[in-house]
Amino acid sequence: MNGREMREVSSARRGGGRLRFGIDTWIVRVLVVALSGCAGLSCQPASITVAKKEERARLETAPHGYTSETGRLEELRRPEIVRDYWVLDADGTWHRVSLEQYRAAEVGQVLEICR
């Protein structure tokens, strides 16, 4: 066997350079498509002028454990007050914000939010 034949045999044993390149390219393409699909879910910063602030409370039943008193597992739920914080912009659109943003917001002032 000459040197070239040995390289070809050892390359075939490792799976071949071309096959490896094809798999790597395919993986990169899949990752690019997958991550670009999530781009719409990321934050798009926007500045709004706060026209009104509103704190809304609602009652939800939240799980807080499990019991097996009846011989099977059952979820225990209890009522819980959940608070949501909203600001109205000058265009008349309501935006849900975090507690920190709500506290920092003042009517007539500009607030940075994610859309």
- Are residue 18 and residue 69 in the same domain, yes or no? no
User: What is the structure's pLDDT at 36?
Assistant: 57
49 & 10 share domain: no
Residues 30 and 47 occupy one common structural domain: no
Same domain, 48 and 32: no
Q: Does residue 108 share a domain with residue 87?
A: yes
Q: Can you give the residue range of the structural domain that contains 107? A: 43-114
Domain shared by 67 and 109, yes or no: yes
For residues 61 and 89, membership in a common domain is answered with yes
52 shares its domain with 102: yes
> What pLDDT, on a 0 to 100 scale, did the predictor assign at position 34?
60
Q: Is the pTM of this model over 0.85?
A: no
Higher per-residue pLDDT: 49 or 18: 49
Same domain for 27 and 72, yes or no, is no
Say whether both 102 and 66 belong to one domain.
Answer: yes
Domain count, the chain: 2
Give 54-57's long-range contacts (Cβ < 8 A, gap of 24+).
54/85, 54/86, 54/87, 54/88, 54/94, 55/83, 55/84, 55/85, 55/86, 55/102, 56/83, 56/84, 56/85, 56/86, 57/81, 57/82, 57/83, 57/84
pLDDT tens for 11-43 read 555 555 454 567 777 677 766 656 555 555 678
